[in-house]
Amino acid sequence: MTSKLKLLVATSAFSVAMLGATPAFAVGTDAGVPITNSVNITYNVGGAAQTPPPVASDTFVVDRKVNLLVQRFDAIDTPVAPNQTGAAVAYTVTNLTNDTIDVILSAEQTGGDDFDSTGAFTYYTDVNQDGLLDGGDTILASGVIDNLAEDAIAYILVTSNIPTNNSSASPLANGETGDVILIGQAANAATGTAFSDDAGNVNAAGTVQNVFADADGPGSTDVAGATALLGDGRHSAIDTYVVDTATLSVAKTSVILWDPINGSTNPKAIPGAIVQYCIAVSNASTTVAATNVAISDSIAALALTYYGTTVASGPATIPTATAAPTSATACDGTGSNPDASALSHSSGVISGNLGNVAASSTETLIFRATVN
């Protein structure tokens, strides 16, 4: 302490006022806001007020606390079917930075799941925020969320294609999963350039510097910073495809309805006998219908002739001929299948479309033939 200052303190009434325009540590203060602290001094000498020195002030700007949060849209895995194209997983991206930012999006697969999706990832804004890809959603061609305001949430869909086989080259089965990680990287809203971390740089009072405050995530590029308290300007989350598809099985059975000797009493498969075939398609899935189920069965090379007209003679109770196959829900012909279509026979080929086979249900195609 100098002798002059000692004298001032010893002989003067001394008061100091600290004047701040904005609280220096206000939570959420926008990056770039200047904070100026000014000091005024008044004092007396020998009881007389003295002319104060000029006001002293110090100014710095608030730095950018870079933080973002990527989360899956909900806890429900996305059901998909083998060979499905444009299957969408859903996420939210929240800007926790004290500034408007851009968010650069990227996606990747994980290890340890059952399959990897294929094709390029495509990013959409989920406009109606329902977690589903539908007509109102808009593509993010650049893969960038533009100008995400402070505390704002972007709803994002990521699409890719589902393969036929799993990672072991076996056909995909119900319950098998494929993970997709969405990574969001914070970027300057004015330039679109990813932020660099200034944590290791000397503080520059008049410059907005960046401090990464995000948490770690599962992405391969989303790693811890230099210390446990520092982030990397990225955050990420996993959403999951789960195979949930119709599982069809087909059974073909026959019953002899009639023969020209025994009629319908214990008929045998002798020439001229009438046989009824049933093709039964069953869907073992409890949740997913099979659609547009088409059947084609050729008897052209067999010792059979499609029974389209009633035989000329024989014992009573000759079975009715059918000009076209029929469809039902059981092999005895009971139950209706209203969406069956194109049931036909031509040149020994029996065909038809069963329409939709609902989950946990069976539909049939029935036709009759005679033994040559």
Query: Structure tokens of 303?
Result: 């010792």
Query: Structure tokens of 156?
Result: 């994002």
Chunk the chain into consecutive blocks of 10 residues (it has 372) and report each block's average pLDDT, rounded to whole numbers. Answer: 36 38 52 91 93 90 94 97 97 97 97 96 98 96 96 98 97 96 97 93 92 92 63 95 96 97 96 97 94 98 94 83 94 96 96 97 98 97
Residue 230 confidence (pLDDT) = 64
Give the max Cα distance, the chain. Answer: 143
Instruction: Give the whole-angstrom CA distance, residue 122 versus residue 145.
Output: 13
Say if CB 111 and CB 272 are below 8 A apart: no
CATH architecture, range 248-371 = Sandwich (2.60)
Say if CB 305 and CB 368 are below 8 A apart: no
Instruction: Give the whole-angstrom CA distance, residue 237 versus residue 276.
Output: 57
Say if CB 276 and CB 209 are below 8 A apart: no
Instruction: Give the whole-angstrom CA distance, residue 111 versus residue 205.
Output: 45
Say if CB 90 and CB 123 are below 8 A apart: no
Query: Structure tokens of 4?
Result: 């002059």
Say if CB 254 and CB 331 are below 8 A apart: no
Residue 298 confidence (pLDDT) = 98
Instruction: Give the whole-angstrom CA distance, residue 322 versus residue 283.
Output: 27
The closest alpha carbon to 243, from 79, 74, 76, belongs to: 79
Give the total residue count for the chain.
372
Residue 8 confidence (pLDDT) = 35
Render the burial of 298-319: b for 16+ CB within 10 Å, e for the rest. Answer: ebeeeebebbeeeeeebeeebb
Say if CB 211 and CB 66 are below 8 A apart: yes
Cα distances (angstroms) measured from residue 371 to each of 2, 77, 302, 368: 125, 53, 9, 10
